[in-house]
Every structure is written in structure tokens, then in C-alpha cells.
Amino acid sequence: MQPTQQMTVAGQIEAKGNTVFPVRFISPDEAGWEGIHIQSSAMGSRCVGCSLENIRTSGVALQVEAPFAFQSSFIRNVPGGTAISSTVPITLSHTVIDYVDTGLYLSGQPDQTHAISHITMNRCEQGVVNRGEILNLDNSIMTTYHGLYYEQPGAGLYC
């Protein structure tokens, strides 16, 4: 990706890599890039075996507005920014989030449940900011400074 540009997905994206040959979304420039924006029309999109890296300072690596699956992947190097910001339920599994300010920022409807399992968060200022959803963190590891932060009463956490 070119510096300061964002990939916008209005249709459907399906990216499939593996641990040896991941699909890499990265900027070669130190200024970073703007991340991926999954618009509300992008139903059924998913990324498996992908790596999102070198997002600009204070940016968002993955902004999600449609149901989306991000599995067996990495998000690295989002200084002062957010790895995943979602307003809808997401499926997130077997993923490493490393060196970001906020790992997950969830701000959808109170009755939404996210399918999140086997997540490792390292070097995050805040692991998860939850604004009212029900959150399941099955078999996940967080080595963050502030762990979980709930902004509204009624938010739930199940481990």
C-alpha cells in the first residue's frame, strides 16, 4: 500500500494465505498507510493467514462495518492507533495483535456478540474497549497495560 492511502472494500474481499506465505498488507514507507475499511456493503468478507503492518500513527488497521472474519492472522505496528474497530459482530480467531494502542474497539449494539477466540495481544496500551456488547474471549492471552475497559453498563465479558 502507498503511504497515507486506505484500502476501502465496498464489495467482498477474501484473502487467504498461510503462516509460510501470508497475504501481507504493508506500506514500504515509514509514514505507514491508513489500513483497511470494510464498508457495510461488504457482506461475507474474510481474511485468513493475513498480516496488516505498519499502519500510520494513530490510525486504524481494520475498520469493520459489515460481518467479517479475520482468522490465523497478524496485526502489527499501529503506534498510538487501533488494531480493529468494529460496529458489527466479528469473527476473530487465532490472531496476534502486537504493538498497538488499542487492540479491539467494539462499539455496536448492546445485544451483539462477537466470536473471539485464541487471540494474543502483546504491547497494547488497552486490550479491549467495549461499549456495551457481550464479549467472549475464549482461550485468549492479553499482556496489555490496561486489559479490558467498559464504557457502558450492561457490557458483558465471558472467558
Q: What are the pLDDT tens digits along the chain (159 aa)?
A: 666 788 999 889 999 999 899 999 998 877 788 899 999 887 889 999 999 999 987 889 999 999 899 999 999 999 888 999 998 888 999 999 999 888 888 877 766 777 888 888 888 888 777 766 666 666 676 665 555 554 554 444 444
- Dig out the grid coordinates for 123 from the structure: 504491547
pLDDT at 159: 44
pLDDT at 133: 60
pLDDT at 158: 47
pLDDT at 144: 58
pLDDT at 132: 63
What pTM, to 2 d.p., does this model score?
0.84
According to the 3-state scheme, what is the secondary structure of the chain? CCCCCCEEECCCCEEECCCCCCEEECCCCCCCECCEEECCCCCCEEEECEEEECECCCCEEEEECCCEEEECCEEEEEEEEEEEEECCCEEEEEEEEEEEEEEEEECCCCCCEEEEEEEEEEEEEEEEEECCCEEEEECCEEECCCCEEECCCCCEEEC
Our measurement of the distance from residue 29's CA atom to the centroid of its chain's CA atoms, rounded to an integer in Å, reads 22
